[in-house]
Amino acid sequence: MGIFSNIFKKQPKLEPFDLGLLHTDLHSHLIPAIDDGSKSMEESMAMLKRFSDLGFKKVITTPHVMSDYYKNTPEIILGGLEEVRSAIKEAGIPIEIEAAAEYYLDFHLDDLIAQKKLLTFGDNHVLFELSFSNEPPRVKETIFNMIMEGYKPILAHVERYPFYFNEFDKIEDYRTRGCLLQLNLNSLSGQYGPQVKKMAESLIDKDMIDVVGSDCHHMGHLDLMNSIRTNPYLHKICNHPKILNSKL
């Protein structure tokens, strides 16, 4: 049984990862009633309390900006941020919150780049996302335009785009052009399907991820993230020294 006992030996179970080591969560939807995230201030406070209980010291919330659906402006987002900050103070929740945006790559984004009206975080970083149905034709041009205007682009949840499954050369090309990559931790749970889970694991194995986030829209996302803290890939990516969360 010696050989076979080694083959079938169970892997040691990992202890739940201390998410507080990340310090900061990037990518969430916590300003109430301005996109598909939090519906009320009470819901926002409950989620922020849970972030704090999980060890996070800071969240950078990123409401959607879409020209045809979520027509959020810096004034709307930053005004909502101040209301959330006041509620955090009143509730006594020990967490810091900043706000930027999750910009959808459409014609409106080109205008915002040219006008230098993008909300940023960290070292002038900008979070942007793509359509899930088809790859936009101007991804490289948009990355170039952002960088030329002094922004540092981060592509949101790169593992979730079906047209990039196993297209690692194309993804690496974006990285060489100066675009960083963000991964949703909950992709490791299988929440978005087995292909997304596999893609997330492959990107981690290939050392292609720069920053992680919850993409939290509701309390269920926080419950799920808490439930996968023993996941070996979560340990691997969150322990990686190059992950930027603690520097944001």
Q: Would the pLDDT of 10 be above 60? A: no
Contact (CB, 8 A) for 64 and 35 = yes
What backbone phi and psi angles, to 5 degrees, belong to 128? Answer: -140, 155
What backbone phi and psi angles, to 5 degrees, belong to 225? Answer: -60, -40
Q: What is the pLDDT of residue 68?
A: 85
Contact (CB, 8 A) for 247 and 23 = no
Domains parsed from the chain with CATH numbers: 17-247 (3.20.20.140)
pLDDT tens for residues 28-85? 999 999 999 999 999 999 999 999 999 999 999 999 999 888 999 999 999 999 999 9
What is the chain's Cα-based Rg?
19
Q: Residue 130 has what DSSP assignment?
A: -
What is the pTM (predicted TM-score) of this model?
Answer: 0.94
Q: What is the pLDDT of residue 1?
A: 45
- What single letter denotes the amino acid at residue 79? G
- CB neighbour class for 70 (10 Å; exposed up to 12, middle 13-18, buried from 19): middle
